[in-house]
Amino acid sequence: MFAGQALAQVTPTPRPDPNSSASAPAGPVVLPAILVDLFDPAAAPPSPNPPPVAPLANRPLLLVAPQAVSGAFVPDEVLVSINGDPQAAATVAAALGLEVRSMRQSALLGVTVARFGIPDGRPVGVVLAQLAGDARILSRAPNHIYSLQQAATIGSYAFGRIEIAAAEARGTGVRIAVIDTAADETHPALAGVIAGTFDAMEETPVADRGHGTSITGILAGIGVSPGIAPGAVIFHARAFEGGRSTMSVILSALDWAAEQDVRLINMSFVGPANDLMARAVGAARERGILLVAAAGNNGPQAPYGYPAAYPEVIAVTATDDEDGLMEQANRGPYVYVAAPGVQLVAPVPGGTDLVTGTSFAAAVVSGAIANLLSAAPDHSADWVEHALASTAHDLGPAGRDTDFGFGLINTKAAAAAR
């Protein structure tokens, strides 16, 4: 908290427990337990070219339940963090008939993260259960798939709704990371806006620059498409193509973002709960980095959207020019605040267009936060979170609710909070 300032206490609605089966409206089907030899890849369907494994005497058969996996994921991969060097990861993979597809040291997690391929068709849940038997494995998770949150169809009305004068909006000097598609750096609205770039998908050709251009433009655009926080220093990580990405790619982008000494990371995407995602955003928040994410565009009955639903993240829903909730928005106790996100004018490759989605509402909130930090760089992440919540314009039922969270952000009031 900023020295000499105090805020009214805000009591948030308890966040969902990501490990609880009650955290989403519908849970996955749990498969029956099976007999798995944790030390013998021959216990699973045979691989065409299994790696050599040293024979072990008296290898026990253990009763292991396949791990139930929810959400979309890469069907033949798992992610693990390893207590040991790359050779330890290779040994673990060989013992279970897996392929080491990539391996690197995570700056946020401080451990080696390996992406194992499953060459023989075993279900991901079975492999996760098999990996549970090895003490060298610190964590294991599916390689979940995440998607950008743009609805099917910043703008001038956004400034007025969040109580900030467009002529006075400033994000000067605030370092912000955007994890998204590639951006069109040749667009006039982005001229000189992006200070650094990172491609977490080097092996995939760039075909899509639309979503990333709009998000960065809403944040810090200049000229005829002014952003909420012009002057902010943007570090743009390309981690999406065709609207999709994976946990391994996103973790690489998060690591890079943290290394840029940013104050804030904008994550306008949604996917399932994932152990590595939870640990990464937790580690980033411990560093004092603010994390802003889209609540999701999958409707009121949709499961909670992650990373927004993690307690370290500011989950943003979208409203229109009359403060009505976007119909497609996710609902849930994890929603923290609301911001304009319906029919916003935003830069796109080749010009401007109207965009809709919680993705763009998240960018509006990130821009508002940049204004607060530009005016008072010593404000802590905790101060910013509480200032947004305590000064928001309450919408819907009194108090925090599952539609609007604490309500529509009020940048002017937040800046004056004590």
Q: Which range marks the domain in which residue 372 is found?
A: 149-415
Q: What is the CATH number of the domain that holds 184?
A: 3.40.50.200
- 236: number of Cβ within 10 Å: 30
Residue ranges of the chain whose pLDDT lies below 50? 1-64, 153, 155
- What confidence score (pLDDT) does residue 67 get? 64
- What confidence score (pLDDT) does residue 76 get? 94
Per-residue tokens: 187: 């667009």
Tell me the angle at which helices 247-259 and 275-286 cross, rounded to the nearest 10 degrees. 10
Total structural domains within the chain: 2
- What confidence score (pLDDT) does residue 99 get? 94
| Structural domain includes residue 59 | yes
* Shared domain check, 345 and 219: yes
* Shared domain check, 170 and 111: no
Nearest Cα neighbor of 76 from 126, 47, 128, 118 is 118
* Shared domain check, 178 and 58: no
Per-residue tokens: 104: 């690197």
- What confidence score (pLDDT) does residue 84 get? 77
Per-residue tokens: 31: 């498969």
Nearest Cα neighbor of 77 from 39, 11, 29, 125 is 125
| Structural domain includes residue 344 | yes
* Shared domain check, 224 and 88: no
| Structural domain includes residue 22 | no
| Structural domain includes residue 3 | no
Largest CA distance in the chain: 75
Handedness of CA 385, 390, 391, 397 (dihedral sign): positive
Q: Which residues contact 39 (CB under 8 A, 6 or more apart)?
A: 56, 59, 60, 95, 133
CA separation for the pair 46, 120 (Å, rounded): 6
CA separation for the pair 170, 186 (Å, rounded): 22
Asked which of 102, 126, 144 is the last residue of a domain, the reply is: 144
| Structural domain includes residue 278 | yes
* Shared domain check, 228 and 139: no
- Model pTM greater than 0.85? no
CA separation for the pair 48, 118 (Å, rounded): 12
* Shared domain check, 184 and 94: no
Say how many Å lie between the first and final Cα of the chain, rounded: 10
Q: Which residue has the tokens 């990405």?
A: 245
- What confidence score (pLDDT) does residue 257 get? 98
| Structural domain includes residue 26 | no
- What confidence score (pLDDT) does residue 151 get? 63
CA separation for the pair 88, 216 (Å, rounded): 40
Asked which of 100, 124, 144 is the last residue of a domain, the reply is: 144
Q: Which residues contact 351 (CB under 8 A, 6 or more apart)?
A: none
- What confidence score (pLDDT) does residue 148 get? 86
HEC-encoded secondary structure of the chain: CCCCCCCCCCCCCCCCCCCCHHHCCCCCCCCCCEEECCCCHHHCCCCCCCCCCCCCCCCCCEEECCCCCCCCEEEEEEEEEECCCHHHHHHHHHHCCCEEEEEEECCCCCCEEEEEECCCCCCHHHHHHHHCCCCCEEEEEEEEEEEECCCCCCCHHHHHHCCCCHHHCCCCCCEEEEEECCCCCCCHHHCCCEEEEEECCCCCCCCCCHHHHHHHHHHHCCCCCCCCCCCCEEEEEECCECCEEEHHHHHHHHHHHHHCCCCEEEECEEECCCHHHHHHHHHHHHCCCEEEEECCCCCCCCCCCECCCCCCCEEEEEECCCCCECCCCCCCCCCCEEEECCCEEEEECCEEEEECCHHHHHHHHHHHHHHHHHHCCCCCHHHHHHHHHHHCECCCCCCCECCCECCECCHHHHHCCC
* Shared domain check, 154 and 93: no
| Structural domain includes residue 2 | no
Q: What burial letters (b/e) apply to 278-315, b meaning 16+ CB within 10 Å?
A: bbbbbbbbeeebbbbbbbbbbeeebbbbbbbbbbbbbb
Phi/psi of residue 216, nearest 5 degrees = -65, -35
| Structural domain includes residue 356 | yes
* Shared domain check, 386 and 313: yes
Phi/psi of residue 181, nearest 5 degrees = -75, 175
* Shared domain check, 388 and 240: yes
* Shared domain check, 379 and 284: yes
CA separation for the pair 293, 142 (Å, rounded): 21
* Shared domain check, 327 and 214: yes
Asked which of 109, 144, 179 is the last residue of a domain, the reply is: 144
* Shared domain check, 261 and 160: yes
Give me the active site residues, please: 180, 211, 359
